[in-house]
């Protein structure tokens, strides 16, 4: 059987890091086994669902490099849900209820006051057809609950959490359809998983109790349930869920200069025993993905760690990957020279401006200005076609033996770049070129602070 996973976002908002982590792990699981990764847009909430959110979700998945192998829209599948729902009515597995939210809340409070679990008492099962007819005549519409089978425990082996055991008699029969006919999440998801031949459902641990009820729904519809895995939820660095984490969207991270490789590298291994490393090669992450490496402890998401990882990723990105993001005229040699100094690709433009100029001549002591005057004369004599930095430094050492180490290198860097730090000058000087370099050395030696 082909391993088939699905990512099922609701288009009532944009993706945040928790959604992305789920999508990524579902994608990695499918790719690890040569299977299929499906996108299901859960848009049964027609009032809140937005097409711009659908477009945003797809754009984010594409940016992350998570292509999907098939797509479904729940809003196009209402006929299928209705047919399967009628089967459950005929089998007596769903039933009509009329309690209001206030009445249910009162029942829960009474049970809690008695020290009992606040589960639905199934009072609606005592209603007769005459009762239902009277309710209908009074203009009342029922909501529908799925009737759990209390004869046996619900059990499965979770790929992350291990053996799971639920007593259905201690659970409320879940509402699956509202009085206005609209669907809640549980039943359509099961119907879709059956129709889409989903073999593995990987999602957050907040869905564990949902899985228990859904396992019975699969059985009621005559289907074998998929394999389930429930991963620990993301928490912030303070050790709990935060509003910042819950709203940290892909668009915001892109705006901060985060590259998709960095976000994927972090989220792929967050919550596992595998080290978080600057792995840009997707196949490496696929090959090493293993649900057995996931732990039960909350997975801590640290934005500072993401930015550190982003810098490490940027330092490894090849020119072909970034060429379209670089300023005009910046070629492969320039990228390789500059990238070790970057945290975000956008910073390359600042360093390229240092190459192309103009730069401000530094304010220097008289001794350094005299030294740069000598350096300018030496620079006129060297061969600029190969290794000009090494040639320049060696010639200066031979002619100005008093200049060594920092005293030799720093004034040159300041004159040539206007900076005290930066990329390796051996790589940077050929990019600056002979004419600009000579102009800058001369300007620094004669008129400190003037642009050249």
What is the number of H-type helices and E-type strands within the chain?
20, 12
Mean pLDDT across the chain, nearest whole number?
94
* This prediction's pTM: 0.89
Rounded-to-integer distance, Cα 372 and Cα 376, Å: 6
> Would you give the DSSP letter of residue 198?
-
Average pLDDT in the 91-119 region? 95
Using the predicted structure, report yes or no on whether residue 182 has a pLDDT greater than 90: yes
> Would you give the DSSP letter of residue 21?
H
Asked if 24 and 60 touch (Cβ cutoff 8 Å), the reply is: no
Could you read off the pLDDT of 53-69 as tens digits, one per residue? 999 999 999 999 999 99
Give the confidence band of 446 by pLDDT, cuts at 50, 70, 90: confident
Rounded-to-integer distance, Cα 181 and Cα 188, Å: 13
What confidence score (pLDDT) does residue 242 get?
56
CA–CA distances in Å: residue 444 to residues 152, 191, 375, 394, 440: 86, 75, 11, 21, 6
Using the predicted structure, report yes or no on whether residue 448 has a pLDDT greater than 60: no
Using the predicted structure, report yes or no on whether residue 449 has a pLDDT greater than 60: no
User: Phi, psi (5° rounding) for residue 72?
Assistant: -135, 155
Could you read off the pLDDT of 288-305 as tens digits, one per residue? 999 999 999 988 999 999
Average pLDDT in the 308-313 region? 97
User: Phi, psi (5° rounding) for residue 37?
Assistant: -115, 115
For the chain, domains (ranges, CATH) are 319-355 (no CATH), 357-446 (1.10.10.350)
Rounded-to-integer distance, Cα 9 and Cα 15, Å: 8
Rounded-to-integer distance, Cα 283 and Cα 289, Å: 10
| Closest to 32 in 3D by CA, of 60, 62, 69, 4 | 4
Could you read off the pLDDT of 363-393 as tens digits, one per residue? 889 999 999 999 999 999 999 999 999 999 9
Sequential DSSP letters for 269-310: HTTBSSPP-----HHHHHHH--GGGB-SSPEEP-HHHHHHHH
Rounded-to-integer distance, Cα 64 and Cα 345, Å: 16
Average pLDDT in the 351-373 region? 92
The alpha-helical segments, DSSP class H, found in 7-150 are 17-32, 51-64, 78-90, 101-113, 129-137
What sign does the dihedral 288-289-290-296 (CA atoms) show? positive
């Amino acid at each position: 059987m082909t391993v088939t996973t699905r990512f099922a976002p609701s288009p009532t908002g944009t993706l945040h890091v928790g959604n992305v982590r789920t999508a990524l792990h579902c994608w990695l699981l499918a790719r690890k086994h040569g299977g299929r990764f499906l996108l299901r847009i859960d848009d049964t909430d027609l009032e809140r669902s937005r097409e711009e959110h659908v477009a945003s979700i797809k754009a984010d998945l594409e940016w992350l490099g998570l292509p999907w192998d098939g797509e479904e829209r729940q809003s196009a599948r209402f006929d299928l849900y209705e047919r399967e729902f009628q089967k459950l009515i005929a089998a007596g597995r769903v039933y009509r209820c009329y309690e209001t939210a206030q009445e249910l809340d009162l029942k829960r409070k009474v049970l809690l006051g008695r020290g009992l679990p606040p589960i639905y008492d199934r009072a609606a099962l005592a209603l007769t057809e005459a009762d239902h007819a009277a309710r209908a005549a009074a203009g009342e519409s029922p909501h529908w609950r799925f009737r759990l089978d209390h004869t046996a425990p619900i059990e499965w082996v979770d790929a992350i959490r291990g053996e799971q055991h639920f007593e259905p008699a201690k659970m409320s029969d879940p509402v699956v359809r509202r009085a206005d006919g609209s669907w809640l999440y549980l039943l359509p998801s099961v119907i879709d998983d059956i129709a889409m031949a989903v073999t593995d459902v990987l999602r957050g641990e907040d869905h564990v109790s949902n899985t228990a009820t859904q396992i019975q729904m699969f059985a009621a519809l005559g289907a074998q349930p998929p394999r389930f895995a429930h991963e620990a939820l993301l928490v912030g660095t303070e050790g709990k869920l935060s509003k910042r984490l819950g709203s940290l969207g892909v668009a915001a991270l892109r705006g901060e200069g985060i590259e998709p490789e960095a976000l994927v590298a972090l989220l792929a291994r967050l919550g596992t025993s595998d080290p978080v490393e600057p792995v840009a090669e997707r196949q490496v992450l696929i090959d090493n993905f293993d649900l057995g490496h996931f732990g039960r402890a909350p997975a801590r998401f640290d934005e500072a760690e993401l930015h550190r990882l982003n810098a490490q990723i940027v330092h490894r990105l090849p020119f072909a990957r970034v060429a379209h993001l670089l300023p005009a005229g910046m070629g492969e040699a320039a990228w390789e020279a500059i990238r070790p100094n970057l945290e975000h690709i956008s910073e390359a433009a600042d360093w390229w401006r240092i190459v192309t100029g103009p730069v401000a001549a530094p304010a220097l002591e008289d001794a350094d200005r005299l030294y740069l005057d000598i350096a300018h004369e030496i620079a006129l004599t060297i061969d600029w076609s190969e290794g000009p930095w090494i040639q320049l430094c060696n010639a200066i050492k031979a002619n100005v033996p008093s200049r060594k180490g920092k005293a030799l290198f720093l004034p040159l860097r300041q004159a040539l770049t206007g900076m005290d730090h930066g990329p390796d000058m051996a790589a940077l000087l050929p990019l600056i070129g002979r004419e600009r370099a000579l102009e800058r050395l001369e300007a620094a030696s004669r008129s400190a602070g003037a642009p050249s």
